[in-house]
Amino acid sequence: MGNIVAIVGRPNVGKSTFFNRLIQRREAIVDSVSGVTRDRHYGKSDWNGRNFSLIDTGGYVVGSDDIFEAEIDKQVELAIDEADAIIFMVDVESGVTPMDEDVAQLLRKVDKPVLLAVNKVDNNKRLENAVEFYSLGLGEYFPIASTNGSGTGDLLDALIEALPETEAEEETELPRFAVVGRPNAGKSSFINALIGEERYIVTDIAGTTRDSMDTKYNRFGFEFNLVDTAGIRRKSKVKEDLEFYSVMRSVRAIENCDVCLVILDATRGFDGQVQNIFWLAQRNRKGIVILVNKWDLVEDKETNTMKEFEAMIRREIEPFTDVPIVFMSVLTKQRIFKAIETAVKVYESRSKKIKTRELNDIMLPIIEQNPPPAYKGKYVKIKFCTQLPTPQPQFAFFCNLPQYVRDPYKRFIENKLRKEFDLTGVPISVYFRKK
């Protein structure tokens, strides 16, 4: 399980540019999702074989000095509380500012690794000017230029060395289903409805994410771990804190599950935060089931209300529309077991291994009847396909001119794979390679 690293600092020092550079360092694990408040972002990166999650605490609101001080303190304290290490970013162009000193004062009290990154150091003159940041009392600083990556290697080397070792994740063959969604959508109630009165439940196991719990479910022939992300610490004061922890827990749970049960409140709709969680699960290549809870509370339902609601969701998740949607009510327990049956089916589809001969016997005739359109007078000939040995379905199609296969044809192949091999709810990847 990776560590959490927070990037903090005042506005306009280059935090987001640095964040984007880190999450794009390896294409295979790029992942970013906008937070629910003030443009926080969450992502994943790695360096020297160590994975870590990133929090970019951007978007401070600058008003009067008092308003700004309260806002920056809250942002930094939230990030510090969740993080294993902090990167404090400052700007060599403006030098040490009172805002920098405010943040430094908070960080000097923290019993966690703090790395001071002096950004925009792209020439020798600025390298000399960076010396003044010793005055912040945080020890050694790292001169970097986030726009071109200069100096980031030394910073990341020091970060990896400073990060605490993480406990090895307990090996288990049981599927892990993460119940995710915005606060008050019914996540805890859904899990309680499933396990509350059942005596077949074993024990609660401490999860890999802070304050999440894995509950082993063994009933009606199903056995899996339910990951509850609803156990949010009510830190104090404001709703914003609650949503920060909700999103961070969802991010961590999604990264370490097999299937995401995305619960939404039917009375609120498929809003921005739910969409962020959905796309995070999709980019992590997890199985997905959308659960529309509180359907019994929707007023003025007519014959087509459910179909129209479902159609609205599918428009929002294009082009990945092949996702099961279950309308349920946790309060009345309507269709809650249908939700579990669907999740198990998606897990089985995600774990499916298709024999190469079967894959070719089915897909090559389809390709022969519907070949890729000619591009620049060139004709693509696909001769062979195989499933790659990855945890989720990925397929390689070997052809003479892979560079001329356009995106619409890739989507055509993906849709045929879904239809022929029942891959509903599973993000799949299709690659065209030189034979």
Output the known binding site.
Answer: 9-16, 56-60, 119-122, 181-188, 228-232, 293-296
Question: In degrees rounded to 5, what are phi and psi of residue 352?
Answer: -65, 135
Tokens at 275, concatenated: 């969409």
Q: Which neighbouring-strand residues pair with 225?
A: 176, 216
Binding residues for GTP, by number, are 9-16, 56-60, 119-122, 181-188, 228-232, 293-296
Considering only CA atoms, which of 272, 313, 279, 282 is closest in space to residue 33?
279
Element containing residue 381 per DSSP (H, E): none
Question: In degrees rounded to 5, what are phi and psi of residue 364?
Answer: -65, -40
Q: Which residues contact 260 (CB under 8 A, 6 or more apart)?
A: 177, 178, 180, 254, 277, 281, 286, 287, 288, 289
Using CA atoms, how far apart are residues 90 and 11, in angstroms rounded to an integer? 9
Tokens at 177, concatenated: 């289903």
Residues 377-386: contacts with CB under 8 Å, at least 24 apart = 378/404, 380/404, 380/405, 382/432, 383/435, 384/360, 384/435, 385/356, 385/359, 385/360, 386/356, 386/359
Q: Which residues contact 380 (CB under 8 A, 6 or more apart)?
A: 371, 372, 374, 399, 400, 401, 402, 404, 405
Output the CA–CA distances (angstroms, integers) from residue 91 to 94, 171, 214, 340, 398, in the order listed.
6, 44, 43, 51, 49
The residue assigned the tokens 């897909």 is: 363
Tokens at 47, concatenated: 């360096």
Q: Do the Cβ atoms of 62 and 12 come closer than 8 Å?
A: no
Using CA atoms, how far apart are residues 418 and 420, in angstroms rounded to an integer? 6
Mapped to the 3 state alphabet, what secondary structure does 157-206 carry?
A: HHHHHHCCCCCCCCCCCCCEEEEECCCCCCHHHHHHHHHCCCCCCCCEEE
